[in-house]
Amino acid sequence: MGGSRIPALRLNSMVYFLGKDGDSMNYYLVRHGQTPANRKGIIQGHLNVPLSDRGRLQAKLVGEALAKVKIDAVYSSDLDRAKDTAMEIAKHHNCKLVFDKRLREVHCGSMQGKTMAQCRELFPEFFEARKSNPYLVPRPGGGECDRDLYERVMRAFFDIQRECPGSDVAIVTHGGPIRCLLSYVLKGEFDPGLPTVANTSVSAISNRGGKWEVVKSNEVAHLEPIGDHRVSTSNDFYRW
């Protein structure tokens, strides 16, 4: 179920690279710090859950790590767990800080606030439907499907390119949107099989003269002081 490919979504009204010829742009994709819900395996989605004590320490460490690189702007989800992480990064740079609700995690509807085990028991039809049509099946109770998530995240990303041409930008967001952005660079379409990145991991994508590449993915070396520097090998694709 998690590894199946998804039909291409090209967003035909938009182009893939919005910079000028010769522009060089770097984007640092940072997942928010740990929350109490992350620790307990609770699905968050659009719930506004704060960072845990460990999450605040993770945010401080990723901020210090990114203080060593040039960052011209920081864009963030407007949910507190991302905002607080973003502020730890922005304080090391003389740059603008923008909060954008389009960078939120996928809305999980009635699944929010529950564990995955509870959701599998309560909503078996959702998981069954995803086996054959994972891209277009919305989360129960008014939630989003993967296409909804991919479209809004890509529109936010295209706007960032327009607003910050030739700039180096940190994007602080959630596991789902980072999967969207890495999928876009690697394949030009959404791939649900990409693993969920770790809390406050840094993935980097760049564009050199119109050519995209993934420079690094799920980098957590900066978390070594607190022992969180070993990347999980979990195949859990549902940490929303």
Q: Which amino acid is at 25?
A: M
CA distance 16 to 113: 36
CA distance 84 to 88: 7
Indicate the angle between helix axes 53-66 and 80-90, nearest 10 degrees.
40
CA distance 191 to 106: 15
Q: From start to end of 59-167, where are the E strands? A: 73-76, 96-99
CA distance 145 to 137: 5
So which residues are the catalytic ones? 32, 105
DSSP string, 157-211: HHHHHHHSTT-EEEEEE-HHHHHHHHHHHHHSS--TTSPPPPTT-EEEEEEETTE
